[in-house]
Amino acid sequence: MHGIPGIEQVDTRALTKKIRTEGVMLGILEVYFKGEEPDLRELKREAQSMPDPAQRDLVGEVCTKEIKRYPGREDCQVVLIDCGVKNSIVRNFTSRGATLIQVPPATSSDQISKLKPDGVVLSNGPGDPKRIKDVIRTVKSLIELHVPVFGICLGAQVLALAVGGDTFKLKFGHRGQNHPCLELKTGRCYISSQNHGYAIDPNSLFGTGLEVTYVNANDGTVEAIEHRDLPAFATQWHPEGSPGPDDTNFMFDKFMAMTRDAKKMSR
């Protein structure tokens, strides 16, 4: 009556075992009426011919198409490269007084430099980070200019790729609000909110200047990285955690302090 799809009489344990063996797969939810029988052969054929959404320009479908400006009260101007940013990330910067300039992912490093940013944020977003080559090139140039950079989720993977690292597709993506992130320096564990299907290859970071600072306590994957010499770091999780835990909101404070330090050094 309300057009909401549902599913019943399915052995969810069997589905779970299959996915655990094969990894994330595309699937079909078939709707049929009582007394009808599904054509399993046709459904299988249709499932095998389904286009992989990861091959689409997902970032281009969800990003801003124009520059947006959010005025702040402090003398701090942050450019946010929008790959599908959450509004909660925008709020976390404006609530800290930053003037935030949200730009499309195709914005070049020259265009960003003309905005005179005190720092650049690489937002979260969907899909394979290797598909957004324009963003990777832009970030590479910004890092070479010593512009402070903070990456979130997809932004963390872009940061790694920009300095010569590599990423890979997870067999099972990290989804949900209860992922434990272990800080290697202190041994402290933080609970985080996550939603991603790709991860950074830690072995690819040798010689890039990036080091792993947090790992996932469940599977050991990279959760945060930081450059040894340049003002750049990133978290694989969502530190604003909305919805979700807010254990790591201090990451925004860390970036704001980084922009202030960079401004002092440039005077």
Provide the annotated active-site residues: 153, 238, 240
What is the DSSP code (8-state) at residue 164? T
Task: Tell me how far the alpha carbon of residue 35 is from its chain's centroid.
Answer: 45
Q: How many CB atoms lie within 10 A of CB 34?
A: 4
User: Is the distance from CB of 99 to CB of 72 less than 8 angstroms?
Assistant: yes
| CA nearest neighbour of 101 among 83, 87, 84, 120 | 120
Give the separation between CA 265 and CA 38, rounded to whole angstroms: 68
Strand locations in 54-209 (E): 68-70, 77-81, 99-103, 119-122, 149-152, 167-183, 189-200
Q: At what angle are helices 133-144 and 154-162 packed, to 10 degrees? A: 60
**H or E, element range at 235:** strand 232-235
